[in-house]
Amino acid sequence: MLQSGHHQWNKGQPTLQAFPATQRLNSRLHQISEETKKMAPKLVFVLPVVLLALALQAILRPPPPKLCGSPGGPPLTSPRIKLRDGRYLAYKEDGVQRDKARYKIITVHAFDSTKDFPSPVSKELVEGLGIYLLAYDRAGYGESDPNPNRHVKSEALDIEELADQLGLGHKFYVLGASMGGYSVWGCLQYIPHRLAGAALVVPIINYWWPSFPAELSKQAFNRLIVPEQRTLWIAHNIPSLLYLWMTQRWFPSSAAAMHHPEIFSKHDMEVLQKMMAMPRTIENKSRQQGIYESIHRDLLVAFGTWEFDPMNVTNPFPQNEGSVHIWQGREDRLVLVELQRYIAKKLPWIKYHEVPEGGHMFVMVDGWTDRILKALLLGEEPLDV
């Protein structure tokens, strides 16, 4: 009964502990308490790891690109085409008029460059042979929209669509220099039926192409300066870390991106001195939309895992109706000659030219671009390479 205004059980009545449900609740509460005590040390370790992961995610995520023509983005100054996927591709025409040209060549620019970098071909050769030159900004460079899904095939398809929208006809020539070489390899693999001929000038080499003998590839890779080795290794093996690696300030990263003097041969330094003596009239807009979708994406595509092995590419001109050329400087410190020689050996249908004193930039001087175009268009083979 109730006494003195307090709740009290009469003697002989059941207590709370007598109810099974209450016993189970108490037991469960005790179990949770014990588990919490056991988990506490783990939480002390796990929680910082989770917080660190979230912080790293924020650091590793590159900022969005500043699209040309968008609010706060760089201005548009070049003609562009709209691609099937909605991206815009900027281009520049040079040489004779398109409809009067005998030869139509699409040129593919190098790493950290754009379509506006002047081609050192002579006016006499262009007008004499009737050459039309079409340069374009590769995805993410200059005034072309970035392509977050960029790969070797997409580069080739961009070239094909550019040619079609500008009415170049069923066949055209392609010429790629340095990093632009992987776009030409893409054309040889994916659109060989559209090519009248192709030239690869000091084209980049992926050290992880399956057909390279492991020892040869390793030896060549170890000849690169250490910062370049680290950068290419990260681009291939841990691509998610490339942005962090390229933007940190504790260790030197890509020697090519930083224009480190050790990557240039003696001949390259002479070329650079000549170029510096020339009046500068063109601003380099290669990175104006952001470094990640331009130079970083280039490294990821070039040195990532390819969809095909270039040394398995078949001859697009079995009846000798066209030709493919590789031009390599023997003293090149960025693209090493021994691997280029191996490619030429594996693909004997490629016409391989090795410039004895040439470095990575030999094409910029001494009329080499004219010689390259004469070999591509006319079959005139230089006697000294």
Mean pLDDT of the region 263-273: 85
Name the more confident of 3 and 287.
Answer: 287
Q: How does pLDDT run across 217-258, given as a tens digit for each residue?
A: 999 999 999 999 999 999 999 999 999 999 988 887 888 887
| Rg of the chain in Å (alpha carbons) | 31
Name the more confident of 62 and 101.
Answer: 101
Predicted confidence (pLDDT) at residue 146 exceeds the cutoff of 60: yes
CATH ID of 80-378, from 3.10.310.30, 3.30.70.360, 3.90.1150.10, 3.40.50.1820? 3.40.50.1820
What are the structure tokens assigned to 7, written together? Answer: 């709740």
Cβ pair 132, 96 in contact under 8 A: yes
For residue 163, which amino acid is it? A
Mean pLDDT of the region 37-65: 59
Mean pLDDT of the region 67-91: 95
- Concatenated DSSP letters for 325-367? EEEEETT-SSS-HHHHHHHHHH-TTSEEEEETT--TTGGGSTT
Q: Please report which confidence band the pLDDT of residue 29 belongs to, taking 50, 70 and 90 as the band edges.
A: low
Nearest to 284 by CA among 110, 156, 139: 110
Name the burial class of residue 113, with classes exposed (0-12), middle (13-18) and buried (19+) by CB atoms within 10 angstroms of its CB. Answer: buried
Within a 10 A sphere around the Cβ of 346, how many other Cβ atoms? Answer: 15
For residue 28, the model assigns a pLDDT of: 54
The pTM of the whole model exceeds 0.75: yes
For residue 267, the model assigns a pLDDT of: 86
Mean pLDDT of the region 271-294: 83
